Structure 1
Amino acid sequence: MTATPTRRTTMTGWLRREDCRLEDLLAVLAEETDLADYPHADRVEQGVLVYDAAALAPIVAGRDGRREVQAEIARALLDGPGITVYENAFDHGVVDRVTEAFKEIIAAQRASGVEAGDHFAKPGANDRIWNALEKLAVEDPEAFVDYYAMDIIDLVATAWLGPGYQVTSQVNVVNPGGAGQTVHRDYHLGFMDPDVSASYPAHVHALSALLTLQGAVAHVDMPVESGPTLYLPHSQKYSHGYLAYWLPQFQDYFVEHHIQLPLAKGDAVFFNPALFHAAGSNVSADISRMANLLQISSAFGRAMETVDRTRVVEAVYPFLLQRKAAGAPLGDLANARAASAEGYPFPSNLDRDQPIDGMAPLTQSQVVREALAEGLDSEELSRRLAAQAESKLSH
């Protein structure tokens, strides 16, 4: 299938919180999901496209059929409801083996005193395994191979991101009585507070969602009372969404108008990270809702050259101190710092480098900024940089 050229208009300049209007979101949400536009889908449920993984399997086994289905999936994620569900995508026996491995990891975390929180719920509200991909590979490599051999991940990830994608995962277990999350969008801009995300130009807001695919695999049956994820289909198309979801009127609308689909063990859901969503509250008496949250990144999210940023910072820091003492404009020093230090907090080890008073841990650049502000010597800066680097290691 050959892609049809289309003209898409992307906003330029900067977006402002004061321009977030609920009526603009409602205009976007007015579009309905038409099953006729998605011939490979099994049905539409609450505006969400639901696919039968077994029915897709023979179609996507060949190159032409695979491309046709992938084009449909990408269209659904970009211009359609922004979310697709795949029933019976994972073999139950394999899921059960991986579930047992996750339970062993959680038990070990508890025994060691680790209390893992997430970005939108308080520590202790659920059980969280950060970097579950690596931990599963070490805990049960055979189960890892059987689990990630399932074709649905590659089918959807390649449809959205192309080849060379990078898989990460985090396990979230919301226990009976566990509170859900607040409405949000996801990585990248979704993990920034509104002041930071507003500093990125409008066209980056449009780009951010194209760099990541969000997904989840149900490891237990998830009836509505267990709190499966809440969604607002089509909301990924609202241009100001990364700023708007923080605002009370948008949060209130989400609470009143979200949809919530029950999932069965082995079902998978994939969605555009710009979709408004939130984990639900578990009001069941006896269901520990376990999902493996897949966060799959574009291969393009990398620099062309390898740069040892710590080495660069340690080399230039004495001269930053010198220029500061001589009265150099703070803006000039910030520019030099931006060119030398790592200005993005991820990837990191969120067991040890957890966000404090914000959505993300400190960046290397922020560590350097604080050192300059305090007038620390090079030896102390090196100590802080080494501690930060150690906290980001995966083990």
Structure 2
Amino acid sequence: MSKVWLHPEDARLADLLTVLKEEADPADYPYAERIEQQVPQYDAARIRTEDPRAVQAEFATALGEGPGIIVLKGAFGNEVVDAATDEFAGMIADQHKAGTAAGDHFAKPGANDRVWNALEKLAIRAPEVFAAYYSNDLLALVAKAWLGPAYQVTSQVNVVNPGGEGQTVHRDYHLGFQSNEVAALYPAHVHRLSSVLTLQGAVAHCDMPVESGPTLYLPHSHKYELGYLAWRQPEFGEHFVANHVQLPLEQGDAVFFNPALFHAAGSNHSHAIKRMANLLQISSAFGRAMESVDRVRMAVRLYPVLRAFGQDDAFDLDNVIAATAEGYAFPTNLDRDQPIGGLAPQTQADLLRQALDEDWPADRLEHALDQHAVRRRTADI
């Protein structure tokens, strides 16, 4: 019988080491170009030509039963990345001018730069750049492979400057953001569930040689059941420091990993590289995202751009809609927002897609989104 309750004192490094003995078998990853330091690496151009369902099945295996991490080489084009980099740099400059520099969860504040809610800020600041960036087919492919449809994208930009210190080892949201005392209140099956509610990702916005401090990982560590109660313990941190893997990246590469994987941003030992990554936290429709995002505001701002881009067959509107609007119908007020003709009411994403298909004027969409929000509120009782 499996344990129902997990206790911090039961976390033992020897048990983690047993889990880490497993190695990635290249035969399990036929679409990967190679396995490097236990990490399957994929050529973006190649996997775009393969059967998407088969590729997704391989991604899901790697993220779950496998090492817990994949790298997509050349996932984003340089022109798209450069345009977004310019906008992110502008946001950071604005923060410095305003004296509102952001800190980090697992690193000392002040030395590096962070932009919270970069998703919404990019959509409002540069909707054309946002639309080109988040139309990326491979981002959608991986997100659906791990989370299914109706996922929610959030993003934070992280810049580790030359000489900047990295992070301490950790697991990520949800349970990774709880103290041991709080995490131990959740039964073991919730510890197992937490890692399938989120997909972590990072897009390299510059070349990242090892000396610049690309993220450190401990492949297979996500499969250690007591990991959410173990990563703060010194012996686990010491093992991570001595045994992690660290993969150099090129601009446009994307890394995706299980949030329960032991990981940490590395220290930047270079003299001139401002290591910028767009950190993607993609949430299941059935979970709660970490950041609040005004998706009505984003949809209204992006709509004229999407109407124009929609005439380009090479541009995937559905991927941008998925990154912009709420794709899940609940929670809502079923007195007002009734599921007529189906089991669930219309979502924000459905509404935005209908507007684009029927070529609504912008003011009609804005009114419809406002009414949609009103229907979801509780009524006077």
Question: 2:32 corresponds to which residue?
Answer: 41
SS at match of 2:129: helix
Contact between 2:59 and 2:142, CA under 8 Å: does it hold in 1?
yes
Whether 1:22 and 2:17 are equivalent positions in the alignment is no
Which residue is 1:216 aligned to? 202
- For residue 50 of structure 1, what is the aligned residue in structure 2? 41
Match of 1:229 among 185, 209, 215: 215
Match of 1:13 among 4, 9, 13: 4
Match of 1:68 in 2: 54
* Structure of higher CA gyration radius: 1
1:84-127 Cα deviation digits (max 9, x unpaired): 00000000011000000000010001101102001101221210
| Correspondence for 2:79 | 93
Superposition CA RMSD, Å: 1.2
Q: Does 1:264 align with 2:250?
A: yes
2:9 counterpart letter in structure 1: E
1:155 and 1:105, CA in 2 relative to 1: closer, same or farther beyond 3 A? same
Q: State the AA in 1 paired with 2:169.
A: V
| Alignment pair present for 1:291 and 2:277 | yes
SS of aligned partner of 1:67: helix
CA distance in 1, matches of 2:287, 2:184: 20
* Number of the residue aligned with 2:185: 199
Moved more, 178-187 or 118-127: 118-127
Equivalent residue letter for 1:169:
S
In the other structure, the counterpart of 1:186 is: 172
Q: Do structure 1's residue 300 and structure 2's residue 286 form an aligned pair?
A: yes
The verdict on how the C-alpha distance between 1:37 and 1:116 changes in structure 2, with shifts beyond 3 A counting, is: same
Q: Which residue of 2 aligns with 1:111?
A: 97
Rounded to whole Å, the distance in 2 between the matches of 1:221 and 1:193 is 35
Matched residues in 2 for 1:171 and 1:294: separation? 9
Distance in 1 separating the partners of 2:272 and 2:130: 28
1:144 deviates by 0.5
2:137 to 151, 155, 161: 151
Counterpart of 2:48 in 1: which secondary structure?
Answer: helix
* In structure 1, distance between residues paired with 2:125 and 2:239: 42
Equivalence for 1:378: none
1:329-374 CA distances to partner (integer Å, 9 max, x unpaired)?
A: xxxxxxxxxxxxxxxxxxxxxxxxxxxxxxxxxxxxxxxxxxxxxx
- Structure 1 residue matching 2:27: 3-state secondary structure: helix
- Name the residue aligned to 1:3: none
Structure-1-length-normalised TM-score: 0.73
Instruction: Name the SS of the counterpart of 1:273 in structure 2.
Output: coil
**Secondary structure in 2 matching 1:58:** coil
Equivalent in the alignment of 1:345: none
CA displacement at 1:304 relative to structure 2: 4.5
- In structure 2, the residue matched to 1:176 is 162
Give CA-to-partner distance per residue, 1:298-349, whole Å, 9 cap, x none: 0112694448xxxxxxxxxxxxxxxxxxxxxxxxxxxxxxxxxxxxxxxxxx
SS at match of 2:49: helix
Letter in 2 for 1:26: L
Distance 2:218 2:167 in 1: 14
Matches within 5 A, 1:325-340: none
1:12 CA displacement = 4.0
Partner of 2:120: 134
Q: How many residues align?
A: 293
Local SS of the residue matching 1:86:
strand
Mapped partners of 1:77, 1:197: distance in 2? 23
Pick one of 229, 240, 248 that aligns with 1:254: 240
- Residue by residue, what CA displacement relative to the aligned partner does 1:259-315 show, whole Å, maximum 9, x if unpaired? 0000000000000000000000001000000000000000112694448xxxxxxxx
Q: Offset of 1:13 from its aligned partner? A: 1.3
Residue 34 of structure 1 aligns to which amino acid in structure 2?
D
- Picking from 100, 106, 109, the partner of 1:123 is 109
Percent of aligned pairs sharing the same letter: 67
Unaligned runs of 5+ in 2: 289-328, 334-381
2:108–2:165: 8 Å Cα contact kept in structure 1? no
CA distance in 2, matches of 1:109, 1:306: 36
What is the DSSP-based 3-state SS (H/G/I as helix, E as strand, rest coil) of the residue aligned with 1:274? coil
Which amino acid counterpart does residue 181 of structure 1 have in structure 2?
Q
Residue identity in the other structure for 1:71: A
Equivalent residue, structure 2, for 1:370: none
Q: Which amino acid aligns with 2:108?
A: K
Q: Is the 8 A contact 2:192 2:225 kept in 1?
A: yes
Counterpart residue type for residue 48 of structure 2: A
- Report the counterpart of residue 62 of structure 1 in structure 2: none
Please list the CA deviations of residues 62-93 of structure 1 after superposition, one character each: whole Å capped at 9, or x if unmatched. xxx11111011001000000000000000001
Distance 2:89 2:330 in 1: 39
Runs of 4+ in structure 1 deviating by more than 2 angstroms, as ranges, are 302-307
Question: Of the candidates 224, 227, 250, which is equivalent to residue 241 of structure 1?
Answer: 227
The 3-state SS of whatever aligns with 2:119 is helix
